[in-house]
Amino acid sequence: MKPQFTFLLVFAALAALSFTMGAVDPYYLTVIIFIGINITMATSLNLINGFTGQFSLGHAGFMGVGAYIAAIISTYLTTHGMSSDGVSGILVLAASLLGGGLFAALTGLAVGIPSLRLKGDYLAIVTLGFNEIIRVIIQNVDFKIAGTHYVGGARGFAVPQLSTFLWVYGIALVVVYFVENVIHSTYGRGFLAVRDDEVAAEAMGINSTRFKVKAFVIGAFFAGIGGGLFAHYIQYITPDNFTFLKSIEIVVMVILGGMGSTYGVILAAIILTILPEALREFSDYRMIIYSLLLIILMISRPQGLFGNASIKKFLAKWKTGTATN
């Protein structure tokens, strides 16, 4: 089946499933929504860390930029005549997510151009520093327009609830579809060449810095959209939602799923969103158990759940009865 038909089929299934979400317990619905947002975040970071071979620890910063810009746009529109319901609500959310994504992409460009000539640990430290700079700026910004507070500094920012199941999973599907198609295109081979051997890629005429910056900008754009979805679901955001711990959480999803394995990263995002909730009854030991499980998984499968192989290949072997560990 052609990828575009698969995309339309999955989207139709998500649209049909969205009509049943009203009967789902709000707690479980929240977990389901967070899974979709984490799929978007992890897949977008996988383009940077997994497919292009960089090591960014600043993804939560781009998520925060997208969340706040999207929240500012939607709050401004809904307090100046536009409704948050019906077609008007769809237009408000679409404009907010696009604005948040574009602003996050510009931030990614501003971060990427001076820092992506660095490699490895140095790049990780720089992106972590930018993550904290973004968070501190947000934490110290507060302004008012026509009696309405925007950003809100350390105390946070109230946001209209506009995100729905279909929006969250529809965008996650678009991100997965886009990344898979880009990576398997002729142009996308440049990202893989930079990851595999940057010196050889440069010798073949590939501008490695340009590809790294593009990966950074695209990843930041989708992270900004993910942040906008997050803000418009939880309805109240603060700078503490976007600390470096959030960046590490997303990086763990990419590493655990397998660097460069889109479907493995999706599975890891699902597992690592559900696991902390499943351990809530062991509240005193939850983080210890969670950390031990991660350590055991990484010792037993250091290449990630699926390594460089995709789930599709695994399923193909399973159907023929030759699947192995």
Q: Which long-range contacts (CB under 8 A, 24 or more apart) does 136-139 make?
A: 136/239, 138/64, 138/68, 138/239, 138/242, 139/239
269 falls within a domain:
no
In a domain, 290, yes or no: no
Number of folded domains in the chain?
1
pLDDT at residue 32, rounded to an integer:
95
- Low-confidence stretches of the chain (pLDDT beneath 70): 1, 116, 143-149, 283, 286-287, 298, 302-303, 305-325
Spell out the long-range contacts of 8-11 with Cβ–Cβ below 8 A and sequence spacing 24 or more.
10/173, 11/170, 11/173
Q: Return the HEC string of 99-120.
A: HHHHHHHHHHHHHHHHHCCCCH
Residue 163: strand, helix, or coil: coil
pLDDT of residue 310: 46
Give the global pTM.
0.88
The pLDDT assigned to 325 comes to: 45
Domain assignment present for 250: no
Per-residue model confidence (pLDDT) at position 257: 86
Residue 81 domain boundaries: 3-243
Q: What is the pLDDT at residue 324?
A: 46
pLDDT at position 149:
62
Tokens matching residue 60: 């939560």
The reply to whether 74 falls in a domain is: yes
Q: pLDDT at position 156, please?
A: 83
* Crossing angle of the two packed helices 262-278 and 244-257, in degrees rounded to 10: 120
> What per-residue confidence (pLDDT) applies to 197?
84
The model's pLDDT over 9-27, given as tens digits with 9 standing for 90+, comes to 988 999 999 999 989 999 9
At residue 160, the pLDDT reads: 87
User: If we measure between CA atoms, which residue out of 325, 302, 160 comes closest to residue 236?
Assistant: 160
Q: Which residues pair with 145 in a beta bridge?
A: 148
pLDDT at 148: 61
Residue 157 is inside which H or E element, if any? strand 157-158
- pLDDT score at 82: 80
Q: What is d(CA 238, CA 33) in angstroms, rounded to the nearest whole number?
A: 19
Residue 264 domain flag: no
Residue 154 lies in a domain: yes
Residue 319 lies in a domain: no
User: What are phi and psi for residue 79, nearest 5 degrees?
Assistant: -95, 0
